[in-house]
Amino acid sequence: MSCTFLPGPAVLKYLRFHLKRIQSQFPESEMDNYASFIGEALEKTRCRECVPSWEEIQVLMGRQEMLCTVHYPGPGSCQLHISSHTTANEVVRRMLEKLGLKESRNTFSLFEQNAHWERAVGGSTIIADILTRFENLSAKEPDSDSQWRLCFKLYCLLDADAISVDSIEYFFLFEQCHEMVVRGQLPACEEDLQTLAALRLQSVIGDFSTHSPCPPLDELFPGHMVEARLLMPPCAPPALLPATQPPVQGCPQRFPGGLLGGTLWNHTATAAHKQKVEQNLRLRSRLKEEAAAIMSTIVECWKGLAGYSRRDSMTAYLTIARQWSGFGCTLYEVDFYISSTGSFSQKLWLGVAATCVSLYRQGEAEALESFPYGQICSYGVSDSNTFKITAGDRDLLFETTKLTEIMQLMNAYFSAIRRQRGRGDDVVSITEGTAIEVGFHHLPPTPTPTLLELPSHPV
C-alpha cells in the first residue's frame, strides 16, 4: 500500500535505506523486484482523493496494472494500462502517441463525462481516483444516463486550418462541433441547422434509404429551436368566480358566505389542474408535430446529398459552422455580467478562444464585446461564484458556476501561446500587465507566471 499512504519523514528515511539494503543483498530476486516497485511508488505517491477500490487493491497485491478505457469523439475507445499513481497528463501523452497526434498544434485533455455533463480533468489528477469515483457514482445511480466515462478530446483549438481533412483530429473537430450544435451553442438560422443535420446523417449513415435507421431528432438538431417554433403561447385559463361572490339579485342566499368556500375551492383547483394537464397534452402534441415537420425537412435535404462521401459531408458541415466568427471557442453560461464602465447584462455566453475572450447574447452570432489576450492584464476568481477580468482600465465581473473551468481553459490558452511563441511560431503576442491585486492570475513582464493547475495536456 506504499502507493496510497506515504510514510512520515522519519519512517521514509529508514524505509529507503532498508529498500536499498534489500536490493544489494538480494539482487535480481523476488525481493529485489518488490523493493524496486516500492521505491518507484514512493517517488510518485501523494494524497489520494478516494479510498482505493477493491479491484485496485487486488491489482496491487498481484503487482499488476489496471485497465482503463478512454473514449474519444465518436464511437471509438482505447484501453490503457495504468497504476495507482498514473496521472491524467501521462494518459494524455499516451493517447497522443497511440492516435498519432503528437505533432498537432492544438492541445487535448481528458474529460469526466456522462450523458448530461462533462468537465476537464486536471493534469495531475490520479486516474485511479477518477475510476473509483465513477464506480461509487454508478452504484448510487445505476440508470444509463448517469454512467460516467473518461473521454479524450480537443481542448484548445489553436489552429483549425492546420488540421488535415484526412486525420483523426479532423474527425474529432467534426464530432465536437456537432456536440455544440445539438446543445444549441452554434448561432445559426434554422435552415442552416437543418442542412447541418442532413450532412450529419450523410456522414454517419451514407445515402438515404428507407431501411436506414434514423437517429432521434435531439441527436441531430437543437431542442430549443423546436420549442421556438411554437409561436402561440398557451392560453391563459379563464377567470373563475370567487367563492364569496354575492348571490344574484332575487335569489335568496341560503347559506352564510364562505361556508362552502372549501368545497368550491377544491372544485376550482381540480378544474384548474385538469385544464393545465390538457394544455400540457396539447403542447406535447404540437411539439411532436413541429418535430415531425423539422425531421421531414431534414430527410428531404438528406436525400439531396446522395453521392456525398463521408469526407465531403464533414467538410461541408464544418464550412457552414466556420461561418460563425466565434467558431472554435468554448462557451460558458454567465448569469450576469457587469463592467466598471456601467455595462450590465443577464444570461450571456462567455466565449474563451485562442485569441480572445468574448461575450455573446445567448443565440446571437455577433459578440457584444471582445477582449484580445493582449489587452487582458489579469484574471481570476474574486469570490465563490464571481470571475473577474481586468482588460486595460476596465474591470469585468461575471457570475457563473463554471469558475474552475474558465480559469483552467484561459490558463491553458496562455500556456499554449507561450510554448508556441518559444518555438518562434507566428502567434498572438501578449501585452504584459502589472500585478496589482492579490489572488489573481496576472501577466508579468518577463517570466512565465505561476499558473493554476492546468487541464490534462502536456505543458
Are 192 and 316 in a shared domain? yes
Residues 346 and 336 sit within 8 Å (Cβ to Cβ): yes
93 touches 99 (CB < 8 A) = no
Looking only at the bridges linking them, the beta strands covering 107-113 and 118-120 are antiparallel
Question: Is 80 exceeded by the pLDDT of residue 108?
Answer: yes
Whether residue 424 sits in one domain with residue 382: yes
Residue 244, strand partner residues: none
79 and 130 fall within a common domain? yes
Residue 453 scores a pLDDT above 50: no
Give the CA diameter of the chain. 115
User: Which DSSP category does 175 fall into?
Assistant: H
- What pLDDT sits at residue 297? 96
Number of domains in the chain: 3
Signed CA dihedral, 344, 348, 352, 358: sign only: negative
Provide the pLDDT for residue 399.
93
CA distance linking residue 131 with residue 141, whole number of Å:
15
Exposure on the CB side of residue 132, measured as CA atoms within 13 A: 17
For residues 248 and 208, which has the higher predicted lDDT (pLDDT)? 208
* pLDDT of res. 38: 82
Does residue 396 lie within any of the structural domains? yes
State the sign of the Cα–Cα–Cα–Cα dihedral 446, 353, 173, 154: positive
Domain boundary among 323, 341, 361: 323
Tell me the C-alpha to C-alpha distance, in Å, between residue 42 and each of 9, 123, 124, 361, 362: 12, 20, 16, 51, 50
Order of strands, edge to edge, in the sheet holding 356-361? 367-372, 356-361, 344-352, 330-339, 394-399, 386-391, 376-383, 441-442
Supply φ then ψ for residue 181, to 5 degrees: -60, -50
| Of 141-145, 176-180, 295-299, the least confident | 141-145
Point out which residues pair with 270 in neighbouring strands.
none
CATH of the domain at 362: 2.30.29.30
1 pLDDT higher than 80: no
Q: Is residue 301 part of a domain?
A: yes
Q: In the structure grid, which three cell numbers stand for residue 296, read together? A: 421531414
pLDDT band at residue 221, thresholds of 50, 70 and 90? very high
Which residue's entry shows cell 503487482? 63
Same domain, 339 and 358: yes
Residue numbers of the domain that contains 207: 188-233+267-323
Residue 240 lies in a domain: no
Please determine, for residue 193, whether its predicted confidence score (pLDDT) is greater than 90. yes
- Identify whether residues 193 and 318 lie together within a single domain: yes
The pLDDT tens digits for 411-433 are 999 998 888 777 655 433 333 33
pLDDT for residue 435: 31
Residue 88: pLDDT above 90? yes
Does some domain include residue 303? yes
Do 192 and 168 lie in a common domain? no
For residues 215 and 316, state if they share a domain: yes
CB 22 within 8 A of CB 31: yes
Residues 6+ apart with CB under 8 A from 326: 187, 351, 353, 358, 360, 365, 367
403 grid coordinates: 469558475
Pick the residue with more confidence: 308 or 43? 308
- Mean pLDDT computed over every residue of the chain: 82
The CATH number of whichever domain residue 157 belongs to comes to: 3.10.20.90
Instruction: Give residue 102's pLDDT.
Output: 94
pLDDT class for 271, splitting at 50, 70, 90? confident
- Based on the fold, state whether residues 411 and 312 are members of the same structural domain: no
Please tell me whether residues 319 and 347 are part of one structural domain.
no
Q: What is the mean pLDDT of the segment spanning 236-258? A: 46
Residue 216 in domain: yes
What are the backbone angles phi and psi of residue 87, rounded to the nearest 5°?
-100, 165
User: pTM (2 decimals)?
Assistant: 0.77
